[in-house]
């Protein structure tokens, strides 16, 4: 089998070690509401810039993690190694009975949210993922 290689093309260096600013996070900040009613995943979430960090507060719509999940620090992600401005985020929620890894990105005025859910007690429940769509 032939191995195909791709040359790496270096762009201008972007220092990701610096603290993001609210302007860098503008595309993802705000309150996002689930576009579907009656779901069992996340009903709404708020992304905010607080004390120099991106934070998220999620509210579960139903299922094993109904209600306010609280606020956790999130990681901002850029669209590429040389892109400016964050268009995505990730965060981890440990809710006791379920652990949810949230990964979302904003595009065309929508937020697409993937949730990877696992159960620490492994009480016969399989891990699963959901994809939901949100609007401001």
Check whether 134 has a pLDDT greater than 80.
yes
The pTM of the full predicted model, rounded to 2 decimals, is 0.81
Q: 16-33 burial string, b = 16+ CB within 10 Å, else e?
A: eeeebeeebbebbbeebe
Residue range(s) defining the domain that contains residue 40: 24-135
- Assign 3-state DSSP to the chain and report helix, strand, coil percentages, each to 5: 5, 50, 45
- pLDDT (0 to 100) of residue 6: 46
Element (H, E) at 59: strand 53-60
Does a structural domain hold residue 9?
no
Residue 40 or 59, more confident: 59
Does a structural domain hold residue 2?
no
Number of structural domains, the chain? 1
Burial class (CB in 10 A: 0-12, 13-18, 19+), 99: middle
What would the pLDDT profile of 18-49 be if each residue is shown by its tens digit?
557 777 899 999 999 999 987 778 999 999 99
Q: What is the CATH number of the domain that holds 39?
A: 2.40.128.30
Does a structural domain hold residue 17?
no
């Amino acid at each position: 089998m032939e191995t195909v290689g791709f040359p790496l093309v270096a762009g201008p260096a972007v220092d990701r070690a610096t603290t993001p600013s609210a302007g860098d996070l503008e595309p993802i900040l705000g309150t996002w509401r689930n576009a579907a009613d009656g779901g069992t995943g996340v009903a709404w979430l708020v992304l905010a810039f607080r004390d120099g960090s991106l934070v998220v507060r999620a509210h579960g719509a139903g299922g094993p993690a109904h209600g306010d999940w609280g606020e956790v620090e999130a990681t901002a992600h850029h669209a590429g190694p040389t892109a400016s401005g964050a268009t995505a985020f990730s965060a981890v929620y440990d809710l006791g009975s379920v652990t949810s890894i949230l990964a979302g990105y904003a595009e065309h005025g929508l937020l697409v949210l993937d949730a990877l859910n696992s159960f620490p007690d492994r009480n016969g429940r399989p891990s699963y993922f959901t994809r939901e769509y949100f609007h401001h």
